[in-house]
Chains A and B, each alone.
Chain A
Amino acid sequence: MKKPELVVTPGNLEDIGILAEAGADAFIIGEQAFGLRLAGEFKREQLRKAVQLIHNYDKKAYVAVNGIFHNEKLDAMKDYVSFVESIDADAIIFGDPAVLMTVREVAPNMKLHWSTETTGTNWYTANYWGRKGSKRAVLAKELNLDQVTEIKENAEVEIEVQVHGMTAMFQSKRLLIGNYFRYQGRAMEIERKGKDENLYLYDHERDNRYPIFEDENGTHIMSPNDVCMIDELDELVDSGIDALKIDFIFKSASYKKEVTALYRKAIDTYLNDENEYFKQAGEWHAKIENIQPKNRKLDTGFFFKETVY
């Protein structure tokens, strides 16, 4: 059976060593100016060091260039793509076709992963981006397990799905928090309300809390619960999914380490001995539940949910 890659999102250089030791196979890194909703900010020098470090551990480094770019950013993005190639990153994650065009131009040997968060929803489109040069498609989170495995069955590219952590629900170019502050007459507070503000929107009707923050890319709203599939990995692994991702945005160092180690154990155990996996899976789930941050429940995302329209 194929061993899926375990992809994680480190917050800083220190995380990389720890998570590599804990069993991660690949890392998503980058900076806010080009990548969306990253767990850490790796400016150029750090990015270079991060890639080296990751390679020292013999792991893979994927750089997020998945922003929605406006004209004014195109030159900087081109420069960044050349830089990413020069430091030997293993792949660029993109959503905007402008990145694909730029990679063709300045870094034609660079591998591409297609990821738009919300629109990777069918195998045809995954393969379409494959024909345009992408090696991997990262699927939308709003898919159920059957849809995911059906995509994998028909895909000519690698398929990555998120199995753990917070997911993005919304991106606006407007500064919605800042606008609200200004509306409330706090005209002084014009700085962006970033991730460290720990703001969330409270939805009384559903008793849900949606983390919200602003950055260069606008306003982002995140899911109220964390997906956790540690005890439901069997069908995903059976289907041959190429990569399982954990998104660690808003998580502490100790949480990252423990969750990475548990998923490592879960994947390896399943591949060695299915029965053993099923025996232990509940316990791993409980362990994660124990270290969940306040107010963040675990759920299974859309894997077992039907959406209508």
Chain B
Amino acid sequence: MKIAVRYGADAVFIGGQEFGLRSNADNFSLEEMREGVQFAERYKARIYVTTNIIAHNENMEGLKEYLKGIEAAGVHGIIVADPLIIETCKQAAPKLEIHLSTQQSLSNWKAVQFWKEEGLERVVLARETSHEEIKEMKENVDIEIETFIHGAMCIAYSGRCVLSNHMTARDSNRGGCCQSCRWDYDLMKQRDSEADKNVFPTQSAPFAMSPKDLNLLHSIPKMCDIGIDSLKIEGRMKSIHYVATVVSVYRQVIDAYCEDPDNFTIKEEWVRELAKCANRDTASAFYEGVPSFEEQMYGKDNGIRKTNYVFAGMVIDFDMETNTATIQQRNLFKVGDKIEFFGPEIGGFSQRVAAIWDENEQQIDKANHPLQIVKIKVDRPVYPYNMMRRENH
């Protein structure tokens, strides 16, 4: 969360320990939320908490207290899918903004109108909505609209998939989804008199439903033009390197476009930057029309992309006099490696690793322990929380 804020996010959505999809004990406790809010406020950023399960009867217990707790922690709003939680929040925690989750698969302006009349501040649209559709929604209804611009997504209408429930008894609408859609299946044709037949018996790849990750870098100007209020990046379970990279690229794109729309072009370096943290292929999905097979992944490893970069470490300190950076190691790097630093204060620059010292000031030729603290000389000043990635060997 802090990385997202430091790298330029205006708001961050986080999961609590309950009532959210992917809720678990590792998520934010109320205490941590409070801390997060205080941190975010230093950057004028807002914090939203996802409470977007489709609740069963037994989930009602403790809901009121939980929402009150979130409100007291200073959180700005919650993201909700179930009217139970909407109504409970209005009563118990009226200071919280209520945003409708994409789990409601909101796809038309009349439904948006419905939720506006219900008093919601913002709606997150279905991922299945296109540029034209969103434009019409903005024209027809005066409400804040939020859409996804980057990251992993469901291949189903969100909230309308219970594959996991059936296959593994894990409830996808309460956070238990085990991504059954990403498994391989055989597409078979049922026949009456003979054995069923595999539609592609000499298949090069089995049937699959795995979507490429969303990437709307090129659509940002259009999205700004029609007045979409909030652009959302899905960064759950991603490394801080991923979050830092994606957030900072979109920050630059949005700022550059809003500053001077007439002379704006997508810079090649933004595209390259994004690719440096991608571990899957990406595509524009529904925003630019109904996706075809090229926006899905088939076969082993297809679409699982090896970038040429790895997240090597994060800067934790810098000594101006000696031009020495203290680095927390995240992946192996060694003397002679080509590395890049980037961060909001420095933009980015690359150099080679000339020498490495360990904590005892001993010179070493590689940093190969996770989270090892080492020092290296840097060509230019760096700042804490700057990221360091290295080019593949």
- Interface residues, chain A, with chain B CB atoms under 8 Å away: 68-74, 96-98, 100-102, 116-119, 121-125, 128-129, 140-143, 147, 150-151, 154, 169-180, 182-184, 197-204, 206, 208-210, 212, 218, 221, 223-224, 294-295, 302, 305-309
Decide if B87 touches A98 in the complex (CB within 8 Å): no
A69 with B107: in contact, given A123-B57, A183-B205 (CB under 8 Å)? yes
A128 with B87: in contact, given A171-B161, A180-B298 (CB under 8 Å)? yes
For residue B114, which residue of chain A has the nearest CB? A97
Q: A147 — which chain B residues lie within 8 A by C-beta?
A: 56-58
Complex Cα gap A74–B57 (Å): 33
Give chain A nearest CB distance to B319 CB in angstroms: 49
B107-129: CB near A (< 8 Å → 1, else 0) gives 11111011100000000001011
A183 with B54: in contact, given A201-B188, A307-B171 (CB under 8 Å)? no
Chain B interface size range: 35 or more
Tell me which residues from 32 to 69 in chain B have a Cβ below 8 Å from any Cβ of chain A.
53-60
Q: Which of A169, A223, A306, A309 has the most CB of B within 10 A?
A: A309
A to B CB contacts below 8 Å, 25 in the list: A71-B136, A96-B107, A96-B111, A98-B110, A101-B113, A122-B60, A125-B82, A141-B162, A142-B171, A150-B57, A169-B165, A171-B156, A171-B160, A173-B157, A174-B296, A175-B290, A179-B292, A183-B298, A184-B200, A184-B203, A199-B188, A199-B189, A202-B187, A223-B166, A224-B166
Q: B129 — which chain A residues lie within 8 A by C-beta?
A: 70
Let me know if B167 is at the binding interface, CB within 8 A: yes
Complex Cα gap A143–B81 (Å): 18
A173 with B290: in contact, given A71-B133, A142-B165, A143-B56 (CB under 8 Å)? yes
Complex Cα gap A125–B173 (Å): 15
Candidates B57, B160, B292; contact of A182 at CB < 8 Å = B292
Decide if B108 touches A125 in the complex (CB within 8 Å): no
A170 with B171: in contact, given A70-B107, A97-B114, A180-B187 (CB under 8 Å)? no
Give chain B nearest CB distance to A112 CB in angstroms: 13
Decide if B186 touches A68 in the complex (CB within 8 Å): no
Complex Cα gap A147–B55 (Å): 11
Give chain B nearest CB distance to A60 CB in angstroms: 27
Decide if A307 touches B136 in the complex (CB within 8 Å): no
Complex Cα gap A172–B211 (Å): 11
Decide if A73 touches B54 in the complex (CB within 8 Å): no
Give chain A nearest CB distance to B110 CB in angstroms: 4
Q: A71 — which chain B residues lie within 8 A by C-beta?
A: 107-109, 132-133, 136-137
- Interface residues, chain B, with chain A CB atoms under 8 Å away: 53-60, 81-84, 87, 105, 107-111, 113-115, 126, 128-129, 132-133, 136-137, 155-157, 159-163, 165-167, 169-171, 173-176, 181, 183, 185-192, 196, 199-200, 203-205, 207-209, 211, 286, 290-293, 296, 298
Give chain B nearest CB distance to A197 CB in angstroms: 7
Decide if A221 touches B163 in the complex (CB within 8 Å): yes
Candidates A125, A150, A174; contact of B55 at CB < 8 Å = A125
Candidates A70, A141, A143, A200; contact of B133 at CB < 8 Å = A70
Q: Which 10 A-B pairs have the closest CB atoms?
A: A309-B176, A98-B110, A179-B293, A97-B114, A201-B185, A309-B174, A198-B190, A124-B84, A183-B293, A202-B186
Decide if B56 touches A97 in the complex (CB within 8 Å): no
Q: Which of B110, B191, B211, B291 has the most CB of A within 10 A?
A: B110
For residue B161, which residue of chain A has the nearest CB? A170
Give chain A nearest CB distance to B118 CB in angstroms: 9
Give chain A nearest CB distance to B5 CB in angstroms: 29
Complex Cα gap A218–B209 (Å): 13
For residue B173, which residue of chain A has the nearest CB? A118
Decide if A183 touches B111 in the complex (CB within 8 Å): no
Q: Which of A68, A140, A183, A302 has the most CB of B within 10 A?
A: A183
Q: A97 — which chain B residues lie within 8 A by C-beta?
A: 110-111, 114-115
A96 with B170: in contact, given A179-B296, A180-B187 (CB under 8 Å)? no
Decide if B186 touches A307 in the complex (CB within 8 Å): no
Q: B109 — which chain A residues lie within 8 A by C-beta?
A: 71, 74
Q: B105 — which chain A residues lie within 8 A by C-beta?
A: 68
For residue B184, which residue of chain A has the nearest CB? A204
In addition to A118-B54, A169-B166, 19 A-B residue pairs with Cβ atoms within 8 Å of each other are A68-B160, A69-B110, A98-B108, A121-B56, A125-B83, A128-B83, A170-B161, A170-B163, A171-B161, A176-B296, A179-B296, A180-B187, A180-B208, A182-B292, A183-B293, A218-B157, A224-B166, A307-B170, A309-B176
